[in-house]
Amino acid sequence: MNKRLVLRFLVLILSFSVVRVSSAQSADTLRLPEEKHFRNMRQLTFGGDNAEAYWSFDGKALVFQRTSVKDGIPCDQIYYGKLPKKNRPFEYKRISTGKGRTTCAFFTKDNKHIIYASTHLGSADCPPVPDRAKYGNKYIWPLYPSFDIFMADLNGNIVKQLTNASGYDAEATLSPDGKQMLYTSDKEGDLELYIMDLKTGAERRITHTLGYDGGAWFSPDGKKIIWRASRPKSDAEVQEYKSLLAEHLVAPTNMEVWVANADGSDARQVTQLGQANWAPAFMPDSKRIIFASNHEYKRGFPFNLYTMNGDGSNLTKVSRDKGFDAFPMFSPNGKKILFCSNRNNGGTRDTNVFVADWQE
C-alpha cells in the first residue's frame, strides 16, 4: 500500500514538472521555432517606430530612438529606460530636447550620460522627409546637414556639443574604454568615418574611399572596428551617388560589411552578398559578427539577422521574422541581445524593441 502511495506521489510530481516545462516553453511565443539562439524573448516597447536600442556599459539600461505620431512624437526622439525585472513593464523617458530630429544614441562609460545626433540647432521643427517619387521611388535616406552630435545627462541636459562642422555628423558609438567616439560625417565631401578623442576633441579621418561609410562600432576588445559601406564602381553608380550626396541624400540599398583595425588600417570587405547588409557588430568574442541583411530576397524585404565568422565564412541565419529584424547589440556580459523587429505588431508597420537571452 505504501509503495502504491509513493508511486502515485511520484506521478503527480512528474506531471506537475511536465506542466511547468510546457508552460515555460509556450510562454516564449515571440520567438519563432527556428530561432534557436533566442530564449525568454520579451517585447519592451509597444507601438510606434522604435529603433537603435543600445545597452549601457553596465548592462542595466538602454537608450533608443522613437517616433509615434499618435503619441505626439512626429519624428525620432531619444528615450532612456532601465531594463525591467521579470514581469515588470519597461518604463522610459525622453532625454532629447523634443526639438528637431534625433538619431543614434549611445551611453558613455560612466552610464550617466549619452551621446546622440540632433538637428535641433537648425530648427525646432522636424526636418522634411525626401520625396521618393522624385527619385523613382527608391529608398532614400536624408543626410540633414543640421545634424550634430551632443552629450547629455540622463535628465536631458546637454552638457557638451561634440561636433559643429558644416554638414551631416551622426551615427556615433564609443570605444570599450569610453575614450574615443567613432562617427560618420560628410564634412569633407564624402560620407567617411572619423575617430574623436572625447577628452581633447582631437580627431582623425580613418576611411578614404568614395562611398557611404557608416554605422561603425568597435569590437568588444577595442582592437577592431566594423561598419557598413557602399562602394559605387561604374560611372553611373558614381554619378548617382554624387548627385544624391549633393542634395544631402543617400540610397543605402547596396551595402556590405567591412572591418579594419581600430585605427582604420587593413580595411577589408567581409561580405559579398549583394543588396543591403548593414547594422553589423562584433559578437562578444570580438571574432564573430552579427548583422542585418535582405540578401536572400530580391524584392528587398524582409530583413533578418545573420551571424558569420570574421572572414565571412559560416554564414548562419539567426532570426526569421517576415518583416524586419535589425540593430542587434549584445549585452556587456554577452548573455542577452537587444534588437528591433516588426514581429507581434498586429499587422501594422510598428517596429519595437525586443530583448532575449542568447543561447549558443
pTM metric for this prediction? 0.91
Mean pLDDT of all residues belonging to the chain: 93
User: How far apart (Å, rounded) are the C-alpha atoms in residues 189 and 38?
Assistant: 42
User: How far apart (Å, rounded) are the C-alpha atoms in residues 270 and 224?
Assistant: 13
How do residues 299-327 score in pLDDT, each as one tens digit?
889 999 999 999 999 999 999 999 999 99
How do residues 154-192 score in pLDDT, each as one tens digit?
999 999 999 999 999 999 999 999 999 999 999 999 999
- At residue 86, the pLDDT reads 85
Distances (CA, A) of 183 to 5, 18, 100, 233: 69, 51, 20, 24
Model confidence at 27, in pLDDT bands (50, 70, 90)? Answer: low
Let me know: does 56 contact 40? Beta carbons within 8 Å: no
Give the other-Cβ count within 10 Å of 312's Cβ: 17
Give the other-Cβ count within 10 Å of 101's Cβ: 25
Q: Which domains does the chain have, with CATH numbers?
A: 45-319 (2.120.10.30)
How do residues 190-244 score in pLDDT, each as one tens digit?
999 999 999 999 999 999 999 999 999 999 999 999 999 999 999 999 999 999 9
- At residue 15, the pLDDT reads 38
**pLDDT reading at 8 higher than 90:** no
**Local structure of 244: helix, strand or coil:** helix
How do residues 256-280 score in pLDDT, each as one tens digit?
999 999 999 999 999 999 999 999 9
User: How far apart (Å, rounded) are the C-alpha atoms in residues 283 and 288?
Assistant: 5
**pLDDT reading at 116 higher than 90:** yes
Let me know: does 76 contact 67? Beta carbons within 8 Å: yes
User: How far apart (Å, rounded) are the C-alpha atoms in residues 168 and 104?
Assistant: 13
